[in-house]
Structure 1
Amino acid sequence: MTCFPFLFSKTSSSSRQNPDNDEDISGIHNVRIYSYRELRNATDNFSPANKIGEGGFGPVYKGQLKDGKLAAIKVLSAESKQGVKEFLTEINVISEIEHENLVKLYGCCVEKDNRILVYNYLENNSLAQTLLGGSHNSIHFDWRARCKICVGVARGLAFLHEEVRPLIVHRDIKASNILLDKDLTPKISDFGLAKLIPANVTHVSTRVAGTLGYLAPEYAIGGRLTRKADIYSFGVLLVEIVSGRCNTNSRLPSNEQFILERAWALYEQNELVGLVDTSLNWEFYAEQACKFLKIGLLCTQESPKHRPSMSSVVKMLTGEMKVDDSRMTKPALISDFMDLKVRKKQESIIDLKTTSTYNTSSASDHQDTTIASAATTTFTTQFDHSM
């Protein structure tokens, strides 16, 4: 078990050279503080040629540090009103934990108005840009590689949910936040929206944050956050990995636009194998592929209590536990903002603030629409381990 505190103390001597930043860096310890000059030099003055991605809060660059290490350098956009909060949250969460399936934080820069995170560089970018990225993808994701990715992400989430204290709910599990190293080992990234849930509580009541298409409906509508919200998102991701397509694609016929609806229809017809990515050319184990899709459906059931824990998901994926779909119910789905707003009005809950980012290499017209609003958090006691 890994334990870490909520509060952090300032320890870096270099950070004390910028007294105007004390409010920000008072929440940072056990993390290397890089100078802005060093990171500017590492990225060739943040050259567009070194840009490797665009996150919800700013661009990401490839850079080479003074010690020769390659790094992914995530620059917080100055226009982001919520960015500093998410910046500190990400440092808070990721600096104290380490796992094979989580990105590794090297350090950060807090200098004048600059807020920069420095991570280990991962050669094969994200699942959104590779597996789901269309014809420009140069990586062949055979069935073995997909299994490795599914199990790895599940293990990373199980670690966050069950092995650290306080437990961590990521809140934004999606293809663009799953990065791949040279061996296609998956690494969960972007902890800017993560929530720490103390022991002995059932849930966190908070304003909604996450990405449409991966967002658990009970959380989107009611703001009641448990680990089951991450499990829902993982279920969507699992179906995406097996099928090789984004969760939403309005270019398809109406009955195929939403991947969960399509998966459920094929499940009811006992034809789940029809959803498996055709690029595999039938070079996969049909029974195993259908099992993975059933696990995805188990994770996205409407009732959070019916969804399995992440440790159970790992065991089902690896064959240590049987997949029992005898009482599986239809997946829940919020198809668009209109659906969310209508339901939200009916339930008389909080307003949402939305920001959008778009992955230009996506094989569909699906927009990566992130919901992020200022958090108002309350805790309910008596922790329920089934949640």
Structure 2
Amino acid sequence: MGQLKTLQALCLILSLLLLTTTTTTADDSDVMSKLAESLKNAPKDWSTGKTYCYWEGIKCVENRVTSINLASKSLSGSLPSNLNSLTQLTTLSLQSNSLSGLFPSLANLSFLQEIYLDTNNFTSIPSGCFQGLSSLQVLSMSQNINLDPWVFPIELTQASSLVTLAAGNANLYGSLPDIFDSFPNLQNLRLSYNNFSGFLPKSFSGSGIQNLWLNNQQFGLSGTIEVLSNMTQLNQVWLHKNQFTGPIPDISKCKTLFDLQLRDNLLTGIVPATLMSSTAIQNVSLDNNKLQGPQPVFGSNVRATFEGTNSFCLTKPGPCDPQVNTLLEVAGALGYPILLAGSWEGNNACDRWSFIVCDTQGKVITVNFENKHFTGIISPAFANLTSLKNLVLKNNNLTGSMPASLLTLQQLQLLDVSNNNLFGEIPKFPDTVKLITTGNVLIGTTPSSGGGGGGTPSGSGSNGTTPNGTPAPASGGSSVSPGMIAGIVIAVVIFFVVVLFVSIKCYASKKHGKFGRVDNPMNGIEIAKSDVMSSANGYNGVQSDLHSQSSGDLHVFEGGNVAISIHVLRDVTNNFSEDNILGRGGFGVVYKGELHDGTKIAVKRMESVAVGTKGLNEFQAEIAVLTKVRHRHLVALLGYCINGNERLLVYEYMPQGTLTQHLFDWREIGVPPLTWKQRVTIALDVARGVEYLHSLAQQSFIHRDLKPSNILLGDDMRAKVADFGLVKNAPDGKYSVETRLAGTFGYLAPEYAATGRVTTKVDVYAFGVVLMELMSGRKALDDTMPDERSHLVSWFRRVLVNKENIPKAIDQTLDPDEETMGSIYKVAELAGHCTAREPYQRPDMGHAVNILGPLVEHWKPTTNEEEENSGIDLHMSLPQALQRWQANEGTSRMFDDLSYSQTQSSIPSKPSGFADSFDSMDCR
């Protein structure tokens, strides 16, 4: 009887397994059918009646899809939302196509090992997209430049087998989370051309990362790069074009590091001897930092560059002056502060070095670091300044003890170390020295070590017990009881029963499809490319045109932004002809220009005012920031010109003009009125652009001037916010009130007039006004209307009291049907929330994106086909093309092959952190 029951049980289990297999196969059939429907330009045999396992690019095992490989097949369309129902999928290769829409959710595909989705047009990342990818080894999704801003997915920590993570130029922002100890197999981390900020994670230390690409972050990663010294497996490091500070670390442990790109940062200090003597290094760039000390000397087999803004003591190899060496050693004890690197240039410490005073014989007699916020220790090297009389170190954050070597300074008269964090014994100076040590609470004491050597570790007793006296579990043992195991088994059985029931119900309502396959899938891999920015031709002739016309050198910024000669701008605008005027604003006139290859630009010629050196420096500092701001819904600043007191800005040209013209003046310019679909799409574009600017709030005060006249339209009627700027260094805190926002009454929130603070909630209010204008076809302020209707927000609020009033209040050119009215009601409700009187009652821009996004999901524009082999869409806007083009930037081709071969062998509702306000004292 017992054997019979056992046999019956086995038969039942077998039946369940067969049913489960049948239903999951049906799931694959349904997914593949939806995939065929959603893709455009799918392979021909996908529609010939073959079953999906015999389609081109598809591999199956026992009728389960295991591989989809359609790389570089000119595909467009989108991917189905249930793609992650292909539970046996191991490889997904769809790179180098034109797929759009949501990035596919891949959650819980526990067998998935390789994902290649680079160079597509996906627009956003769904929440939890990378959850449960326990077998993942390669995630490659670079060059998805249309993605909405998103943060690093923490759920990837479940992919402990990850070897390659490539997400360059994918609109990532925020900090790099300190989670990289969760990836013990990670070798390739490629996150260039994003908007990461903050410090390098401590968990990089001791990792197995070989290729680290973090170059060209829009505002720049910061802090030191000391963590590199413990990344002993490094082969290639690209950290160029960031904001890293401090010295280059000792890389003597990095025995295989051959390519080190550190140019265009704020690194200070002396180039370490271990870098110059490394036998592995072949390529190193140190240009445009603030490096000090003697000019470095590398071996003849090393391609090394260190030109630009560095502060080497000599213009050729050779030792520095002894006093310079001593002061650099002093700076080293402070971590080589950027404040010192900016002025300690040349080989003479008495030649205008900040905080240094010398006597007539050229000897340093005073060093004054008062109130400089320096950290670190007091260097014993001060003793080498034998003529030193005054050493002032008060009001800093120095720690450690006072070095006894200072007692050898025979000329010392004043030593002020007050208000630091010093400890230890105070050396016994002679009575001739005025010693001030107040404000160092630990001075004269020796701090404890915090639990000396030989003690037991905190957290366990010496006899193997925990702090509360209970026995500690043995190392490597298990604390799981039999009861827990039984519970887990029961839970698993219940789960499978539920899944089986749901699968059977779904199977009854699904159709069977017909499908096919091909062998030899090509798995993509991101390869290092040459530094195209050094090409003389540039993209579309823009660089070559500007170079050929400029009377002087061009200062090239990231993204192709340049300082342009006034002669070029006069030439391309026909000497600022009246016929080329695009518009007039509070800051001057905007002209249309055309380069010699036909590329069109917009040139804003601002009113000439006399400005001093400070004003010029502020203008250049603002340009340096704004040229890095890149988003598909922001008009890109391409360059600038300073001609005497005249200031000119060069932007990408938007051929369809302003939203004002199409919304209020469409009859005068001879175009049809905007449809409701166009209006909602424009609103979504603006919301996404402003949401991106809000994401930059923690680094800079970016102001948005949200009016229809500052929303420009491209050929496809997609919108870009045109008037935004960095507000900083306002002398009275009201600069933006008096200038930036002059004439925008009607778009300003009520609290703005009383506080004068530009906040994210003020932006949301202005956006709500724009929504009201889009719905009503009326201006925010209209003096031709009766007083009770002249102010749009007040009037529209009264309309919103009764939903039945809305159809009468909308622009009558819309002539909406029932479906359109449904979306109008939603937008009207959003506009009301955005213009709430109290700031806390208004949503953020992420909420606006979430409301508007679904309304336009099925109105997406078609994607232009890219030029074959070039990777550049010649119908892109200029900054998008430049961004795609600049993504090729790297090192010389000789390193491409090496990097490629090394990498090949190694393969086995709103974003958080958005600030709610900005203080107007953050200035312009």
Spell out, residue by residue over 1:324-370, the C-alpha distance to the aligned partner (whole angstroms, 9 max, x if none). Answer: xxxxxxxxxxxxxxxxxxxxxxxxxxxxxxxxxxxxxxxxxxxxxxx
Q: For the structure 1 residues 175 and 87, does the alpha-carbon distance in structure 2 shift closer, same or farther, using more than 3 Å as the test?
A: farther
Alignment map for 1:256-295 (pairs within 5 Å): 256-270=789-803, 271-282=805-816, 285-295=820-830
Spell out, residue by residue over 1:155-203, the C-alpha distance to the aligned partner (whole angstroms, 9 max, x if none). Answer: 11111112675255424211111000011110111224x4379xxxxxx
SS at match of 1:246: coil
Among 118, 132, 135, the residue aligned to 2:664: 132
| Matched residue type, 1:121 | Y
Among 585, 589, 596, the residue aligned to 1:55: 585
Q: Which moved more, 1:72-81 or 1:45-54?
A: 72-81
Q: 2-side partners of 1:80 and 1:278: how far apart?
A: 49
Q: 1-side partners of 2:616 and 2:793: how far apart?
A: 35
| Matched residue type, 1:119 | Y
Q: 2-side partners of 1:168 and 1:276: how far apart?
A: 35
SS at match of 1:125: coil
Q: 2-side partners of 1:163 and 1:305: how far apart?
A: 21
Q: 1-side partners of 2:751 and 2:820: how far apart?
A: 34
Q: 2-side partners of 1:158 and 1:196: how far apart?
A: 20
- Partner residue in 1 for 2:844: 309
Alignment map for 1:28-107 (pairs within 5 Å): 29-30=557-558, 31-79=561-609, 88=620, 91-107=623-639
* 2:748 pairs with 1:253: no
Higher relative contact order (CA 8 A, sep 6+): 1
- Partner residue in 1 for 2:395: none
- Partner residue in 2 for 1:382: none
Displacement, 1:78? 1.0
- Partner residue in 2 for 1:150: 683
Q: For the structure 1 residues 89 and 61, does the alpha-carbon distance in structure 2 shift closer, same or farther, using more than 3 Å as the test?
A: farther
Among 645, 648, 654, the residue aligned to 1:116: 648
| Counterpart contact for 1:205–1:225, Cα < 8 Å | no
Q: How much identity, in percent, do the aligned residues show?
A: 33
Alignment map for 1:160-179 (pairs within 5 Å): 160-162=693-695, 165-166=698-699, 168-179=701-712
| Counterpart contact for 1:299–1:308, Cα < 8 Å | yes
Q: For the structure 1 residues 144 and 84, does the alpha-carbon distance in structure 2 shift closer, same or farther, using more than 3 Å as the test?
A: farther
Spell out, residue by residue over 1:90-121, the C-alpha distance to the aligned partner (whole angstroms, 9 max, x if none). Answer: 62443112111000122111122331111111
- Partner residue in 2 for 1:377: 921
Q: 1-side partners of 2:593 and 2:696: how far apart?
A: 32
Q: 2-side partners of 1:81 and 1:213: how far apart?
A: 32
Spell out, residue by residue over 1:5-64, the C-alpha distance to the aligned partner (whole angstroms, 9 max, x if none). Answer: 69999989x99969xxxxxx99x9443111111110101111000101112211001111
Q: For the structure 1 residues 57 and 205, does the alpha-carbon distance in structure 2 shift closer, same or farther, using more than 3 Å as the test?
A: closer
Q: For the structure 1 residues 240 and 183, does the alpha-carbon distance in structure 2 shift closer, same or farther, using more than 3 Å as the test?
A: same
Q: For the structure 1 residues 255 and 86, does the alpha-carbon distance in structure 2 shift closer, same or farther, using more than 3 Å as the test?
A: farther
| Counterpart contact for 1:99–1:156, Cα < 8 Å | yes
- Partner residue in 2 for 1:219: 752
Displacement, 1:152? 0.4
Q: 1-side partners of 2:806 and 2:633: how far apart?
A: 28
SS at match of 1:149: helix
SS at match of 1:129: helix
| Counterpart contact for 1:170–1:195, Cα < 8 Å | yes
Q: For the structure 1 residues 90 and 179, does the alpha-carbon distance in structure 2 shift closer, same or farther, using more than 3 Å as the test?
A: farther
- Partner residue in 2 for 1:358: none
- Partner residue in 2 for 1:180: 713
| Matched residue type, 1:133 | D
Q: 2-side partners of 1:68 and 1:180: how far apart?
A: 19
Q: For the structure 1 residues 205 and 229, does the alpha-carbon distance in structure 2 shift closer, same or farther, using more than 3 Å as the test?
A: farther
| Matched residue type, 2:640 | C
| Matched residue type, 1:288 | S
| Matched residue type, 1:259 | L
SS at match of 1:135: coil
| Counterpart contact for 1:161–1:167, Cα < 8 Å | no
- Partner residue in 2 for 1:232: 765
| Counterpart contact for 2:690–2:704, Cα < 8 Å | no
Among 818, 822, 831, the residue aligned to 1:296: 831
Q: For the structure 1 residues 164 and 96, does the alpha-carbon distance in structure 2 shift closer, same or farther, using more than 3 Å as the test?
A: farther
SS at match of 2:798: helix
Q: For the structure 1 residues 227 and 164, does the alpha-carbon distance in structure 2 shift closer, same or farther, using more than 3 Å as the test?
A: closer
- Partner residue in 1 for 2:542: none
| Counterpart contact for 1:61–1:74, Cα < 8 Å | yes
- Partner residue in 1 for 2:520: none
| Counterpart contact for 2:639–2:649, Cα < 8 Å | yes
Q: 2-side partners of 1:285 and 1:142: how far apart?
A: 10
| Matched residue type, 1:277 | D
Q: For the structure 1 residues 56 and 188, does the alpha-carbon distance in structure 2 shift closer, same or farther, using more than 3 Å as the test?
A: same
Displacement, 1:297? 1.4
Larger Rg: 2
Spell out, residue by residue over 1:193-237, the C-alpha distance to the aligned partner (whole angstroms, 9 max, x if none). Answer: x4379xxxxxx9655242211112212211233211111111111
| Counterpart contact for 2:637–2:651, Cα < 8 Å | yes
Q: 2-side partners of 1:89 and 1:300: how far apart?
A: 34
Q: 2-side partners of 1:131 and 1:233: how far apart?
A: 17
Q: 2-side partners of 1:272 and 1:317: how far apart?
A: 18
Q: For the structure 1 residues 87 and 188, does the alpha-carbon distance in structure 2 shift closer, same or farther, using more than 3 Å as the test?
A: farther
SS at match of 1:117: strand
| Counterpart contact for 1:206–1:225, Cα < 8 Å | no
Q: For the structure 1 residues 305 and 167, does the alpha-carbon distance in structure 2 shift closer, same or farther, using more than 3 Å as the test?
A: farther
Aligned residues: 310
- Partner residue in 2 for 1:364: none
Q: 1-side partners of 2:700 and 2:825: how far apart?
A: 31
In structure 1, the gaps of 5 or more residues are 19-24, 198-203, 321-374, 380-387
| Matched residue type, 1:377 | M
| Matched residue type, 1:123 | P
| Counterpart contact for 1:39–1:65, Cα < 8 Å | no
Q: 2-side partners of 1:17 and 1:136: how far apart?
A: 43
- Partner residue in 1 for 2:392: none
Q: For the structure 1 residues 164 and 99, does the alpha-carbon distance in structure 2 shift closer, same or farther, using more than 3 Å as the test?
A: farther
Q: For the structure 1 residues 249 and 32, does the alpha-carbon distance in structure 2 shift closer, same or farther, using more than 3 Å as the test?
A: same
Q: For the structure 1 residues 163 and 90, does the alpha-carbon distance in structure 2 shift closer, same or farther, using more than 3 Å as the test?
A: closer
| Counterpart contact for 1:206–1:378, Cα < 8 Å | no
Spell out, residue by residue over 1:64-91, the C-alpha distance to the aligned partner (whole angstroms, 9 max, x if none). Answer: 1234310011111115889969955762
SS at match of 2:796: helix
Q: For the structure 1 residues 148 and 376, does the alpha-carbon distance in structure 2 shift closer, same or farther, using more than 3 Å as the test?
A: closer
Q: 2-side partners of 1:119 and 1:162: how far apart?
A: 22
